């Protein structure tokens, strides 16, 4: 058989083979058999080296034509096999659910605290921190709670045994802080005015645990001392804060109150968003929900920290993170925060 | 404190002002009204009935069938009370009335009366007990009224309960409001109504008081004023209805006409009073002094024996103590049915002294509550006249001429200067001086103009809380109305980098939540046994709520295990949790002691490593999942230099690793021991890490400079060794790492295998190694050289044999 016949035969064989290509495997098998470096076509090119010189032009021409033809047919066969594969992919059952993974969340108290921090840092407040085991001076005395004053009854206090080794004959010197207000004192003791900070943290009250109270909770305290700070400015700041936190429609009420470390003092209520002010169990039928205490820093406090009350004035405020979170979500039992039932945590 | 509207109306005209307006205005001037109740509404459907006839219920032994006249109608009512009898005047609830307490309900819930058949006979109402009407605790039988009670009269009206009671919550500074007069004064200012100026009327027809009694005050600092009157020949008995009702509406118990009168005047004017039986005062002489050493015990009139402290102030007679000053009277001089002559004490005691005594005795009374907060020293005589008026009115008797009044000083109004511009500056207002003056004078603070911009103000002695200018500014603010102060928003910028807070902790929380961990917040109070289990030098609470919370936590582990236990009880077994919180300890220092608070991070894994999915097996979390989380966290914080030191079997951990950074221990993690799990009845394995945040964050390096990306590709290849099974994989890795030197880029373990094909006692460990160079592309020769060196190095160090790669 001459070279030319061999080439024609190969062409026939290859064309028939191409028509049968369906899968990517067929594509690869075809390539290996005909087009690879050791395939049939390459062998014919190899054989061509041995034929007489005068036959070479005709054989070479045909061989090149056949190669070009086969390569182009192969390419289209390869492509159609690829799309066959895609078709097959689309037959996978995509209704099978995705693989599950653990989903984590920040605790709702953290979320509220971060929201409060975001609002206040946005208007120029820094953030400060202090100890939970606090001395009487910072928790009470420097905040203008004199010894033997009934104001000390406003907060049920845990006392720490002191010195610890001697079963506490100095008990009373240290307490678990009853509020974050002690951090105010520490901030002012260590920094010259002006100061503008919020002070988040854990505080303790010696109260029986129930759906309404827990032995500890978290507060955010705020303090701003500068020249000519006024009650009107305090109102402006708190109003801005409450609208950011509860929505622009919230109404506020400032009513006179008493805290030893502020004078004048006020308590801040927002209109009850549970009953829209009509009166319900949560707002004790008053239509108002108490959210924080605030006031102008008492001159006695300035004396304790060495600020000149004639030079500066300031405001302070404090709120409970649990209370705000309870109100915001309509949670009816404070203990849920500390149980850490994941069915609860996963809701926030 | 309970405030009666009817009572207030004796002191100030409130005509045309609704209960709601009263409550709102009081709240807005700083006297918070927590709630109020209209009693007429509460007792709607209750009337006075007259029992005409009582017969036994035909079908029940203990029930009686009563015919009760309620004026105009006879009602047939079944009654089970043992004391019901014909001729009685009784409270009757008619069908539709809401009975405040159900005697048969353990919580005493209210219920509505319906027409009901009891053992076949219909009852058209109910005769009520004191408890059912919420008028007292007596459940033993029905209430029986005086014979002159008018049949058919609405109950509220008959009992003087056609009234509204306001529940007022007072801040400790407002001692002046601990009385109906104080509240009336606030209302008179709030509604611009005039306060009554009625004076008590007395007929002093007896002997000169000086002949009947003497008073000596040995401790004038603790007792700045002691006033007294004497009334002889009175009759002790039940209080008239108006007095009894008034005292009870305010929440006190009615005792007798004299005691009730003293309580009434305290509730009306705010002055605590005490009446002694004059003939039980030895030598008819009162001495106000501290107890002698021999006087260690004292019986108070509540029948209890009290231990006295040497610093307590006592009211004594010539021989012994007869009352604890400002707190409670003694049993030895108490008014009794046979009392005829009385001495009424109206005194003023030092607030801090009364408070210390009351705290020390654990005895807080209406009197001590008021004295602690401060009572007007100029109130003693007014109150004395008022109580004497009522006692004579209810018990007869002859009032001795004159009063005894031992006063340490004259008590004048306090002078305080007020500067108008200072007030406006602090409040942020623009009030005119005349307006400020009007506001202050509305609550009896007299003002004298001192200059164009200032006043001298005279704070009345009933306002002991007003001491400084700022106190007056508060009065101006609250009377003007905080709601009328306009908000200002012009707060100045403060350029300040001193208070940067702990934002990194919030970021870390976000990272952990994103990694699938739920955040816990747990109690930082623990049992002492639990705290002591983890650390010896723990912090103890002197006055814990319970033994369960008598110490500060020394580890986050017990709280976390408690959370696991709770979730397991709900069938929630697969948990990824973290917490950031402090642990506490004591440090012995030179001054005896100091306290340490360390911010910790805990990570907890338990249950299935992957939640159930179509192609995942239910493998449980193990220590390598935990190690992976710890490593990921450290890498997330850009840390690259740490050591894990295996640390076997502590109390808390079955297998543990300690985390070291820069040579110091900063955390521990591992599989929690069965012993620790057993304390919480947990029966599945728990992986737990507890890391010290402060130290880890301190070691963190911030990326401060960009590192150029590698110019030459890395070479990646695999190699496996057969080693003795007890050879630590970590050591093999370290050895390879040090061999690679600065060509080292990364190393991973991709297979650990022993079994078929591997000799007994040997393990095959396969590594994937990545090497790279900053100067050139590594070629096959470099890799072959490394493998050759690795083979000989590991053979020498670990007797390891390189597994030849197939093909």
A58 and A137 fall within a common domain: no
d(CA A219, CA A178): 10
Note the CATH architecture for domain B2-40+164-190.
2-Layer Sandwich (3.30)
Counting residues of chain B whose pLDDT is more than 90, the rounded percentage is 76
A181 and A48 fall within a common domain: no
Q: Does A206 touch chain B (CB under 8 A)?
A: yes
Element (H, E) at A319: strand A313-320
The answer, yes or no, to whether residue B592 has pLDDT greater than 60, is no
Cβ contact A105–B35 (<8 Å) = no
What's B414-480's CATH class?
alpha beta
Backbone angles phi, psi at B279, to 5 degrees: -80, -5
A283 and A335 fall within a common domain: yes
Query: Residue range B691-696: average pLDDT?
Result: 93
**SS3 assignment, position B580:** strand
What's B44-158's CATH class?
mainly beta
**CATH 3.50.40.10 segments of chain B:** 209-407
In whole numbers, what is the pLDDT of chain B averaged over residues?
Answer: 92
**CATH 3.30.56.10 segments of chain B:** 2-40+164-190, 414-480
**Tens of pLDDT along B439-485?**
999 999 999 988 888 999 999 999 999 999 999 999 999 999 999 99
The fourth-level CATH superfamily of domain B503-699 is Bira Bifunctional Protein; Domain 2 (3.30.930.10)
Domain limits for position A132: 108-345
**Tens of pLDDT along B669-682?**
999 999 999 999 99
Short-list A39, A93, A88, A89, CA closest to A66: A39
Mutant choice from B475, B485, B547, B620 vs A, greatest count of A C-beta within 10 A: B485
pTM: 0.84
- Looking at per-residue pLDDT, the higher value among A24 and B558 belongs to B558
The answer, yes or no, to whether residue B31 has pLDDT greater than 50, is yes
The answer, yes or no, to whether residue B807 has pLDDT greater than 50, is no
Mutant choice from A115, A116, A129, A150 vs B, greatest count of B C-beta within 10 A: A150
Cβ contact B372–A345 (<8 Å) = no
**SS3 assignment, position B634:** helix
Query: Residue range B25-43: average pLDDT?
Result: 92
**Tens of pLDDT along B627-671?**
999 999 999 998 888 999 988 778 899 989 999 998 899 999 999
Count: domains in chain A: 2
The answer, yes or no, to whether residue A171 has pLDDT greater than 80, is no
Short-list A239, A339, A254, CA closest to A294: A254
CA distance to A271, B120, B439, B480, B481, per residue, from B486 (Å) = 19, 70, 18, 12, 11
Angle between helices B180-190 and B19-28 (to 10 degrees): 90
Cβ contact A340–B509 (<8 Å) = no
Helices (H), B518-601: 528-534, 557-569
A69 and A164 fall within a common domain: no
Cβ contact A163–B593 (<8 Å) = yes
**What pLDDT, on the 0 to 100 scale, is given for residue A339?**
96
Query: Residue range B159-163: average pLDDT?
Result: 87
Contact of A315 with A221, CB cutoff 8 Å: no
Enumerate the residues of chain A whose CB falls inside 8 A of the CB of residue B584: 132-133
A20 and A64 fall within a common domain: yes
A186 and A321 fall within a common domain: yes
The answer, yes or no, to whether residue A88 has pLDDT greater than 70, is no
**CATH 3.30.930.10 segments of chain B:** 503-699
Cβ neighbors of B26 (< 8 A, separation 6 or more) are: B32, B33, B166, B168, B183, B186, B187, B190
d(CA A99, CA B541): 49
Backbone angles phi, psi at B729, to 5 degrees: -60, -40
Cβ contact A236–B510 (<8 Å) = no
**What pLDDT, on the 0 to 100 scale, is given for residue B806?**
45
**Tens of pLDDT along A274-330?**
787 777 877 878 889 999 999 999 999 999 999 999 999 999 999 999 999 998 898
A296 and A337 fall within a common domain: yes
The pLDDT confidence band at residue A166, using thresholds 50, 70 and 90, is low
Contact of B241 with B247, CB cutoff 8 Å: no
A204 and A61 fall within a common domain: no
- Looking at per-residue pLDDT, the higher value among A165 and A334 belongs to A334
d(CA B172, CA A153): 9
Backbone angles phi, psi at B627, to 5 degrees: -60, -40
Contact of B451 with B472, CB cutoff 8 Å: no
The answer, yes or no, to whether residue B24 has pLDDT greater than 60, is yes
In whole numbers, what is the pLDDT of chain A averaged over residues?
Answer: 89
The pLDDT confidence band at residue A170, using thresholds 50, 70 and 90, is low
**Tens of pLDDT along B37-82?**
998 888 999 999 999 999 988 888 888 999 999 888 899 999 988 8
The pLDDT confidence band at residue B578, using thresholds 50, 70 and 90, is very high
The answer, yes or no, to whether residue A238 has pLDDT greater than 70, is yes
Enumerate the residues of chain B whose CB falls inside 8 A of the CB of residue A257: 30, 32, 171
End-to-end C-alpha distance for chain B, whole angstroms: 95
Question: Is A97 domain-assigned?
Answer: no
Query: Residue range B700-729: average pLDDT?
Result: 90
The pLDDT confidence band at residue B589, using thresholds 50, 70 and 90, is low
Tokens of B693: 């945040």
A342-346, B132-136, B272-276, B381-385: which has the minimum mean pLDDT? B132-136
Cβ contact A342–B492 (<8 Å) = no
Note the CATH architecture for domain B209-407.
3-Layer(bba) Sandwich (3.50)
**What pLDDT, on the 0 to 100 scale, is given for residue A164?**
61
d(CA B583, CA B599): 7
A139 and A60 fall within a common domain: no
d(CA B561, CA A104): 18
Domain B715-803 belongs in CATH node 3.60.10.10: no
């Amino acid at each position: 058989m001459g070279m030319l016949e061999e080439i024609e035969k190969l062409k026939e064989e290859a064309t028939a083979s191409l028509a049968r290509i369906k899968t990517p495997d067929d594509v690869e098998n075809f390539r290996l058999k005909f087009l690879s470096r050791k395939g049939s076509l390459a062998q014919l090119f190899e054989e061509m080296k041995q034929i007489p010189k005068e036959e070479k032009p005709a054989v070479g021409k045909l061989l090149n034509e056949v190669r070009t033809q086969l390569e182009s047919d192969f390419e289209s066969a390869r492509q159609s096999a690829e799309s066959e594969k895609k078709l097959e992919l689309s037959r996978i059952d995509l209704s099978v659910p995705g693989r599950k993974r653990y989903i984590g969340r920040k605790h709702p108290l953290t979320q509220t605290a971060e929201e409060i921090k975001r609002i206040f840092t946005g208007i120029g407040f820094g953030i400060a921190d202090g100890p939970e085991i606090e001395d009487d001076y910072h928790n009470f005395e420097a905040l203008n709670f004199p010894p033997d004053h009934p104001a000390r009854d406003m907060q049920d206090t845990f006392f720490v045994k002191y010195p610890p080794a001697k079963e506490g004959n100095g008990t009373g010197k240290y307490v678990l802080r009853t509020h974050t207000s002690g951090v105010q004192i520490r901030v002012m003791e260590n920094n010259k005015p002006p100061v503008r900070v919020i002070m988040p943290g854990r505080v303790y009250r010696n109260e029986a645990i129930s759906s309404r109270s827990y032995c500890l909770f978290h507060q955010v305290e705020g303090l701003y001392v500068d020249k000519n700070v006024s009650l009107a400015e305090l109102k402006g700041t708190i109003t801005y804060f409450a609208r950011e936190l509860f929505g622009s429609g919230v109404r506020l009420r400032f009513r006179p109150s008493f805290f030893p470390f502020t004078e004048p003092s006020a308590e801040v209520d927002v209109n009850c968003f549970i009953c829209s002010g009509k009166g319900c169990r949560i707002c004790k039928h008053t239509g108002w929900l108490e959210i924080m205490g605030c006031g102008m820093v008492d001159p006695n406090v300035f004396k304790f920290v060495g600020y000149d009350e004639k030079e500066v004035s300031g405001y302070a405020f404090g709120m409970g993170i649990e209370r705000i979170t309870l109100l915001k979500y309509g949670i009816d039992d404070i203990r849920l925060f500390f149980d850490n039932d994941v069915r609860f945590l996963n809701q926030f | 404190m309970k405030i009666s509207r009817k009572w207030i109306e004796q002191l100030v005209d409130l005509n045309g002002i609704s209960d709601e307006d009263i409550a709102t205005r009081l709240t807005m001037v700083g006297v918070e009204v927590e709630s109020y109740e209209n009693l007429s509404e509460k007792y709607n459907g209750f009337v006075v009935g007259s029992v005409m006839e009582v017969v036994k219920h035909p079908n029940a032994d203990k029930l009686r069938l009563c015919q009760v006249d309620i004026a105009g109608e006879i009602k047939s009512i079944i009654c089970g009370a043992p004391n019901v009898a014909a001729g009685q005047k009784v409270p009757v609830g008619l069908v539709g009335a809401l009975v405040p307490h159900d005697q048969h309900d353990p919580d005493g819930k209210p219920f509505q009366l319906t027409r009901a058949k009891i053992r076949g006979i219909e009852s058209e109402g109910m005769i009520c007990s004191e408890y059912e009407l919420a008028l007292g605790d007596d459940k033993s039988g029905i209430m029986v009224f005086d014979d002159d009670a008018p049949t058919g009269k609405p109950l509220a009206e008959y009992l003087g309960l056609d009234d509204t009671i306001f529940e007022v919550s007072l801040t400790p500074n407002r001692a002046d409001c601990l009385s109906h007069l104080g509240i009336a004064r606030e209302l008179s200012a709030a509604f611009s109504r005039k306060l009554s100026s009625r004076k008590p009327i007395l007929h002093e027809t007896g002997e000169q008081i000086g002949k009947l009694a003497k008073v000596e005050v040995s401790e004038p600092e603790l007792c700045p004023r002691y006033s007294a009157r004497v009334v002889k020949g009175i009759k002790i008995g039940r209080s008239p209805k108006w007095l009894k009702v008034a005292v009870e509406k305010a929440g006190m118990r009615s005792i007798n006409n004299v005691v009730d009168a003293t309580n009434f005047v305290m509730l009306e004017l705010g002055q605590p009073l005490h009446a002694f039986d004059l003939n039980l005062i030895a030598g008819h002489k009162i001495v106000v002094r501290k107890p002698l050493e021999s006087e260690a015990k004292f019986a108070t009139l509540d029948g209890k024996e009290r231990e006295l402290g040497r610093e307590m102030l006592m009211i004594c007679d010539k021989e012994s103590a007869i009352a604890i000053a400002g707190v409670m009277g003694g049993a030895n001089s108490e008014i009794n049915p046979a009392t005829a002559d009385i001495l009424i004490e109206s005194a003023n005691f030092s607030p801090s002294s009364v408070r210390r005594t009351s705290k020390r005795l654990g005895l807080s009374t209406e009197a001590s509550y008021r004295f602690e907060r401060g009572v007007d020293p100029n109130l003693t005589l007014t109150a004395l006249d008022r109580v004497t008026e009522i006692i004579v009115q209810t018990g007869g008797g002859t009032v001795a001429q004159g009063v005894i009044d031992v006063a340490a000083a004259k008590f004048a109004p306090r002078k305080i200067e007020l500067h108008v511009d200072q007030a406006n500056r602090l409040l942020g207002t623009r009030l005119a001086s005349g307006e400020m003056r009007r506001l202050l004078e509305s609550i009896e603070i007299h003002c004298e103009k001192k200059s164009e911009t200032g006043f001298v103000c005279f704070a009345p002695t009933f306002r002991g809380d007003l001491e400084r200018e700022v106190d007056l500014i508060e009065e101006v603010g609250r009377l003007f109305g905080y709601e009328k102060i306009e908000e200002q928003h012009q707060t100045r910028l403060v350029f300040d980098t001193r208070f940067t807070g702990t934002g990194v902790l919030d970021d870390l929380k976000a990272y952990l939540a994103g990694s699938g961990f739920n955040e816990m917040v747990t109690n930082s109070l623990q049992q002492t046994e639990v705290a002591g289990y983890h650390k010896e030098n723990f912090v103890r609470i002197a006055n814990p709520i319970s033994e369960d919370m008598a110490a500060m936590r020394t580890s986050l582990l017990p709280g976390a295990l408690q959370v696991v236990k709770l979730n397991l009880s709900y069938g929630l077994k697969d948990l990824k949790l973290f917490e950031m919180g402090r642990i506490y300890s004591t440090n012995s220092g030179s001054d005896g002691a100091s306290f340490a608070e360390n911010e910790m991070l805990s990570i907890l894994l338990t249950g299935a490593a992957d939640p159930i999915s179509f192609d995942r097996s239910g493998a449980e979390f193990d220590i390598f999942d935990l190690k992976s989380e710890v490593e990921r966290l450290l890498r997330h914080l850009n840390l690259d230099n740490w050591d894990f030191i295996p640390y076997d079997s502590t109390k808390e951990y079955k297998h543990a690793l300690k985390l070291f950074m820069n040579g110091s221990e900063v955390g521990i993690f591992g599989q929690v021991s069965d012993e620790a799990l057993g304390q919480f009845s947990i029966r599945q394995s728990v992986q737990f890490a507890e890391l010290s945040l402060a130290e880890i964050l301190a070691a963190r390096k911030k990326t401060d400079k960009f590192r150029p990306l590698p110019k030459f590709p890395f070479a990646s290849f695999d190699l496996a060794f057969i080693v003795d099974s007890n050879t630590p994989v970590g050591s093999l890795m370290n050895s390879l790492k040090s061999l690679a030197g600065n060509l080292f880029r990364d190393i991973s373990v991709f297979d650990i295998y022993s079994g078929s094909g591997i000799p007994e006692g040997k393990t095959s460990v396969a590594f994937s190694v990545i090497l790279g160079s900053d100067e050139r592309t590594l070629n096959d020769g470099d890799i072959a050289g490394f493998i050759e060196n690795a083979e000989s190095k590991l053979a020498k160090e670990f007797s390891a044999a390189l597994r030849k790669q197939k093909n």
